[in-house]
Structure 1
Amino acid sequence: MARENPIYFTEEAKEYFLNLLSSNSFPEPFLRIGMNGGTCGGSFVLGFDTKTDFDDEFEVEGIPLVIDKRQLLFVMGTEVVFEARANGFYLHKPSKS
Structure 2
Amino acid sequence: MLIDPPVRLTESALDNLRLITFPEPFLRVGMRGGTCGGTFVLGFDTKTENDEEYLIENIPVIIDRRELLFVLGTEISYEVQGNGFYLHKPPKV
Question: TM-score scaled by structure 1?
Answer: 0.91
What does residue 14 of structure 1 align with?
14
Structure 1 residues without counterparts, runs of 5 or longer: none
Name segments (4+ residues, structure 1) moved above 3 Å. none
| d(CA) in 1 for partners of 2:35, 2:51 | 16
Letter in 1 for 2:42: L
Deviations 1:16-62 (A, max 9, x none): 11222xxxx11110000001111221010000000000100001111
Higher helix share: 1
1:70-94 deviations in whole A, cap 9, x for unaligned?
Answer: 0001101100010011021110001
- AA at the equivalent of 2:47: K
Aligned to 2:45: 49
- CA–CA distance in structure 2, aligned partners of residues 9 and 63 of structure 1: 9
Distance 1:6 1:18 in 2: 20
Is 1:71 aligned to 2:62, yes or no? no
Amino acid corresponding to residue 8 of structure 1 in structure 2: R
- Among candidates 59, 83, 86, match of residue 82 of structure 2: 86
RMSD: 0.9
Q: Which amino acid aligns with 2:36?
A: C
TM-score under structure 2 length normalisation: 0.95
**Structure 2 stretches of 5 or more lacking a match?**
none
Letter in 2 for 1:2: L
Code of the residue aligned with 1:12 in structure 2: it is S
AA aligned to 2:10 is T
* Aligned-partner residue type, residue 25 of structure 2: P
